[in-house]
Amino acid sequence: MNTPPSGASNDHAPHLYEHPAPIEPARPVRAVGSAAAHTTTRLADEFFYLAHDDQTGRPRLFESATAHGLAAALLAELYREGRVTFEGSHVRVINTVPPKDWLQHLVLDRLVAEPRHTATRTWLAFLATTACEQVITRMWQLGLLRPEQVGRLWRQRTVYVPTDVNTAAWSWARLSFQLRNYHPLTAFDQTLAGLALHTQLDPILLDGTPLAVRAFLRHQVDQVHPPLRDLLADLGAVVGGAVLSHRTS
């Protein structure tokens, strides 16, 4: 998890790689104190929690699905901030005022710099190459994650472990409880559930539940704003193709 994801190929968006990446805005220093003090309402942070074990930090999804899910979550954050919208299979910038969050600012800058490229799947592929590293950086700055070396000495790798298990488990517990008890989701959780559904995380989230619960999940996801439905449909198509490639490789 300490390297950029390999699920997206440059062939999907060749022209985007002709330009140097914009310089990231000045970032805040890492927060000091307990992660419990930081209540995240950022979709990418919460999806990261869903996609990783809340105690070990180990991934619940294969790398490409996680990367594309985080890319979609970052675009959805910009939609919630009123900076972009989605029309069919295209993303359109509607407000160029930089968000306060440095990562949202960076993603918006990239969209603004490439007005010729509007296909949502192209942007999902492009953003997926750096989404994991950038979301991890943002969460580390807020004191939500800490790096930990795992594995044998000669084959060690870095995983990012939640600093507060309760904070990390809350997204999973909240969605699972509400869905299993047929409680309507908030708009935020409908989108988060959509990210889980379209990255194929739902079989783990709803393990052991009857089919009616899975139908309720789909019904709740169908209630998201129409532009977000377009984004989620493209995410599902991209991840579905990646899953097929992953299984046949």
Give tens-digit pLDDT for 81-122: 999 999 999 999 999 999 999 999 999 999 999 999 999 999
Q: What is the pLDDT of residue 10?
A: 42
- pLDDT, mean of residues 225-236: 98
Nearest 5°: phi and psi at 159? -120, 155
Round the average pLDDT of the chain to a whole number and report it: 85
Radius of gyration of the chain measured on its C-alpha atoms: 17
Q: What is the pLDDT of residue 11?
A: 42
Q: What is the pLDDT of residue 243?
A: 62
pTM for the model stands at 0.84
Percent of the chain at pLDDT exceeding 70: 81
User: Which pair of tokens denotes residue 127?
Assistant: 């953003």
Give dist(CA 25, CA 138) in Å, integer. Answer: 12
Q: What is the pLDDT of residue 7?
A: 37
Sign of CA pseudo-dihedral 95, 101, 104, 108: positive
* Residues near 73 by beta carbon (within 8 Å), at least 6 away in sequence: 43, 44, 46, 47, 135, 195
Q: What is the pLDDT of residue 31?
A: 42
Domain boundaries, the chain: 10-164+226-244
> Does residue 73 contact residue 101 with C-beta atoms inside 8 Å?
no
Percent of the chain at pLDDT exceeding 90: 74
Q: What is the pLDDT of residue 152?
A: 74
Give dist(CA 5, CA 233) in Å, integer. Answer: 21
How many residues are listed for the chain in this entry? 249
Instruction: Write the pLDDT tens digit of every residue in 2-42.
Output: 433 333 344 444 344 443 333 344 444 444 334 444 456 89
Instruction: Write the pLDDT tens digit of every residue in 45-63.
Output: 999 999 999 999 999 999 9
